[in-house]
Amino acid sequence: MRKQRVTQQAIVFAIFVVLFAIFALFLPGFFSAPNMLALLQNVAFLGILGLGMALVVISRGIDISMIAALAVPPGLVLQMVQNGYGPTISVVAAFALVIVFGLVNGWLVAYAEVPSLFTTLASGLFLAGLGQVAFFQLDVVQWPAALDGLGWFGRGGILGVPMPVVMFGIAAAIVALFLRQTRIGAYIYALGDNPFGARTTGIPTRPIILLQYVLAALIAAFAGFVMAASINSMPTRVFNSTMIYDVILVVVLGGIGLSGGRGGVPNVIIGTLLIGTMLNGMTILDFSYSAQNLVKGVVLLVAILADSFLNPRNEETAQQGDI
């Protein structure tokens, strides 16, 4: 098993290198400093989201409400500050929203036993609708001047590295530590390997699933905040985009099997690099949005086909109704 995982990782990395080399050689303007910076910056948000998704996917879940969690709470902060509330109270309100959202997701998956894809599909829709109805006056919420004190989250850089990339690095380090060095991290892997086995050995599986969805929502909101700071606004219609598939692509292509229990932060980084390069290349090639979606869709389909061959579902621990 170990050998196989390393191979997949290596293959994806090799594809990345080849793709990067081809683009660099044949695409004018690809291997330029501004484009490289833009690429890294765009990729950073995807990468942060991928970390959250990885946390959930490792224990056989999936969270497609992450884009709603990315857009709505940071948007709420921006909107509240615009409307004259203090930054602190705004951040606290958004934080509370994220926690509640994660808890509801987790409760539905862990305790009500609704399949995770289904839960997060509906809950994401709900949160996006809530934002549309109750929070935002315009589709794009501008970054208010009163919040400029927090702008360093997404602007500038350290030693020439753009801030979002630094944030990605920090988040990656924390998640890696969490997954590999803490007991709960080990439990998450156990849960993904065999949920029934994990429960039988006395691991508190339900609270851990709850925690995962809360963490995923928090990470998504963090990514959203960094994004808002970096582009100086929060385009809340991002929920309608296909960004969540980019995130799933990052995770699956990186080698974190949807059947759970495998992979980690390095896989997210490799997946992020590949997807970032691909998206950036397609943008430079002037693919339309729809054409990009088409390519992404086909690549994702091939990826999960390959995934289902490399990491076949465990029939013994697969559940009835596991769709």
Partner 1 sequence: MSDTLTRLRYKYWPDHLLGEILSKRWTETGVPVIVLLIVGFVLSRLLDGFFAPAILADTARQASEIGFIVFGMALVMIVGGIDLSVGSMFALTNFFALYLMHVLAWPVAAAVPATLVFGAALGAVNGILVGFFRLRAFITTLITLIIYRAVYDLLIFDYSTQIAGGFPDSKVWDFLGTGELYGIPTVAFVYVALAIFGHVFLTRLRPGWHITAIGGSRRSAYNSGIAVRRTITMCYVASGMLSALGGVFFASRLATVGGDIGVGLEVLVLTAAVLGGISLGGGNGSVTKAVVGTLIVLLITNSLVSLSVPGGVNRMVLAGILLLAAVIDIRWLKNRHRIISKVYVAPNYHDMPELPSTAPDSGTAWAQNDKLRNVSAIGLGEIEAPEDVILDRHDNLYAGSRHGDIIRFFPPDYKRHEVYAHIGGQPLGMAFDREDNLYVCIGGMGLYRITPDRKVEKATDETNRSWNSVTDDSRLRLADDLDIADDGRIFFSEATVRYEMHEWPVDGLEARGNGRIICYDPKTNSTHTAVRGLKFPNGICIAGDGQSIFFAETFGCSVKRYWFDGPKKGKVEMVMENLPGYPDNINISSDGHYWLAMVGMRCPALDLAWRMPGFRKRMAKRVPVDEWLFPNINTGCVIKFNEKGEVLESLWDLGGVNHPMITSMREHKGYLYLGGILNNRIGRYKLEGADPNFVQYDLRWGKLS
Residues near partner 1, by CB under 8 A: 62, 64, 108, 112-115, 117-119, 121-123, 125-126, 128-134, 242, 245, 248, 258, 288-291, 293-294, 296-298, 300-301, 304-305, 308, 313, 315, 320-323
Task: Report the alpha-carbon distance of residue 142 to residue 235 in Å, rounded.
Answer: 8
What are the structure tokens assigned to 212, written together? Answer: 């995962």
By beta-carbon proximity to partner 1, the closer residue of 155 and 313 is: 313
Question: What whole-number distance in Å separates Cα of residue 57 and Cα of residue 310?
Answer: 16
Q: Measured from the CB atom, is 154 or 260 closer to partner 1? A: 260
Q: CA separation (Å) from 12 to 32, 40, 98, 113, 249?
A: 24, 18, 33, 34, 12
Nearer to partner 1 (CB atom), residue 220 or residue 248: 248
Tell me the C-alpha to C-alpha distance, in Å, between residue 170 and each of 44, 154, 162, 248, 278: 11, 13, 13, 21, 24
Please report which helix (H) or strand (E) contains residue 141, including its range. Answer: strand 140-142
Considering the complex, state which of residue 5 and residue 296 has its C-beta at the smaller distance from partner 1. Answer: 296
- Least distance to partner 1 from the beta carbon of 94, Å? 18
- Kindly report the backbone phi and psi dihedral angles of residue 17, in degrees, each rounded to the nearest multiple of 5, phi listed first: -60, -45
- Residue 218, token pair as written in the block: 């928090």
**Measured between alpha carbons, how far apart are the two ends of the chain, in Å?**
25
* Choice between 162 and 257, CB closer to partner 1: 257
Tokens 């997954």 correspond to 179
Looking at the Cβ atoms of 180 and 237, the one nearer to partner 1 is: 237
Give the residue with the Cβ less far from partner 1, 166 or 210.
210
- Residues with Cβ < 8 Å from 237, sequence gap 6 or more? 139, 140
Compute the least distance from the CB of residue 118 to partner 1, in Å: 6
| CB proximity list for 175: less than 8 A, separation 6 or greater | 51, 54, 55, 219, 265
Least separation in angstroms between residue 133's CB and partner 1 is: 4
Question: At closest approach, how far in Å is the CB of 145 from partner 1?
Answer: 28
Least separation, in Å, of the C-beta of 319 and partner 1?
Answer: 8
